[in-house]
Amino acid sequence: MKPTMTNLPPAIEISGLKKTYKKSRKSPAKEALKGIDLVVPRGSIFGLLGPNGAGKSTIINILAGLVVKSSGSAKINGYDIESQTRQARASIGVVLQEISMDVFFTPYQALENQAGYYGVPKRERRTDEILEALGLADKRDAYVRQLSGGMKRRLLIAKALVHTPPVLILDEPTAGVDIELRRQLWAYVRELHNNGTTVILTTHYLEEAEALCDKIAIIHNGEITANEDKDTLMGRLDQKTLVITPGAELTTTPKTLSNFASEIRTDGSLAITYRTTKTKIPELLERISAANITIADLRTEEPDLEDVFMALTYERDG
């Protein structure tokens, strides 16, 4: 029976994944992954976030076949990376942080060679189509060494797409590129996603993850500390900020708000951060009124992904 979307395997399925790097002369043994369990749903844009050294790159390198796991299992598109290596590798395209390629090839040659490695028949290759989609058509026959850093990064993505993988991993794909190129790349990522590709993204630009991803996992010290729908994750912080534009200039925060985190911002507004489960806006307004402050305007601010990230990583260490 032909599988349906409901019974197809997840894009990525990781269970009990551990990796310990052996002791060397320069560094002690390091437990990079401490038994990771992670499922990436098919058809999602999945954010994998964490501080430097958290274990993100180790997971990606294990999936890509560049690092050997210590224990546990991992499947790509239903194929085990050890017992079904060829099928697993064919199911994934990986764009690593480091720009590494033969600078004496042209973009066209680089993609044709990559397609050959994956056994893509010549009649099924989409080299010119991919170059066009990533804005490299006019550099088709230039040497890679003549390309700018941003163009080289685009070429890395192009190489990862030559075999039309159902799963694409982008490891910091926009690091060091300008805003215009970043927007072009994300427009293409959305297009790939709309056409059915599962995209896994690591990025230090949290606003990108917030704008693009529908599910997000946060890894810290080799462990998953959160793995939820983006909206659910965003709601984990029990706080909001009420921002008041006063009718007259304030020089100090009112004493009636002494048990809240409040400040006068550079634009003259009064910002009051409160816990939504303990305080309601009418109570805050009563306290403001008791301080004889008139209100010209007000708004509330929700926590953003950076707030959640800090709460689940750095602040947890503190």
Q: Is residue 204 in a domain? A: yes
Counted domains in the chain: 2
Q: Percentage of residues in the chain with pLDDT exceeding 70?
A: 96
Residue 1 has pLDDT above 80, yes or no: no
Q: What is the pLDDT of residues 159-215, one digit of tens each?
A: 999 999 999 999 888 776 777 778 888 888 899 899 999 999 998 778 888 889 999
Residues 16 and 151 in one domain: yes
* pLDDT score for 8: 86
Residue 5 has pLDDT above 70, yes or no: no
Q: Report the candidate in 68, 50, 95 with the shortest Cα–Cα distance to residue 197.
A: 95
Q: Is residue 316 in a domain? A: no
Spatial distance between the Cα atoms of 159 and 102, rounded to a whole number of angstroms: 12
What value, to the nearest 5°, has the Cα angle with vertex 92 and ends 63 and 212? 95
What value, to the nearest 5°, has the Cα angle with vertex 106 and ends 103 and 107? 105
Residues 18 and 144 in one domain: yes
Do residues 291 and 254 make contact, with C-beta atoms less than 8 angstroms apart? yes
Compute the mean pLDDT over every residue in the chain, rounded to the nearest whole number. 89
* pLDDT score for 246: 93
* pLDDT score for 94: 92
Which residue is it, tokens 């489960």? 277
* pLDDT score for 2: 38
Residues 216 and 248 in one domain: no
Residues 6+ apart with CB under 8 A from 192: 161, 168, 199
Most confident range (mean pLDDT) of 48-52, 95-99, 124-128, 206-210 is 124-128
* pLDDT score for 4: 46
Q: What is the pLDDT of residues 108-151, one digit of tens each?
A: 999 999 999 999 999 999 999 999 988 899 999 999 988 888 88
Residues 105 and 200 in one domain: yes
Q: What is the CATH number of the domain that holds 79?
A: 3.40.50.300
Question: DSSP labels for 183-212?
Answer: HHHHHHHHHHHHTT-EEEEE-S-HHHHHHH
Distances (CA, A) of 102 to 143, 179, 264: 9, 27, 55
Q: Is residue 312 in a domain? A: no
Choosing from 180, 200, 234, the residue where a domain stops is 234
Residue 276 has pLDDT above 90, yes or no: no
Q: Is residue 313 in a domain? A: no
Spatial distance between the Cα atoms of 308 and 293, rounded to a whole number of angstroms: 32
* pLDDT score for 317: 56
The average pLDDT across 44-54 equals: 90
- Band (pLDDT 50/70/90 cuts) for residue 55 is very high
* pLDDT score for 76: 97
Q: Is residue 6 in a domain? A: no
Q: Is residue 309 in a domain? A: no
Residues 274 and 150 in one domain: no
Q: Is residue 311 in a domain? A: no
The region of weakest confidence among 21-25, 222-226, 257-261, 304-308 is 304-308
Q: What is the CATH number of the domain that holds 273?
A: 3.30.70
Residue 10 has pLDDT above 90, yes or no: yes
The average pLDDT across 23-27 equals: 83
Do residues 141 and 175 make contact, with C-beta atoms less than 8 angstroms apart? no
Q: Is residue 308 in a domain? A: no
What totals of helices (H) and strands (E) does the chain contain, helices first? 11, 14
* pLDDT score for 3: 42
Q: What is the pLDDT of residues 218-244, one digit of tens each?
A: 999 999 999 999 888 887 777 889 999
Residues 179 and 244 in one domain: no
Residues 133 and 62 in one domain: yes
* pLDDT score for 6: 57
Residues 297 and 148 in one domain: no
User: Which domain range does residue 252 map to?
Assistant: 240-302
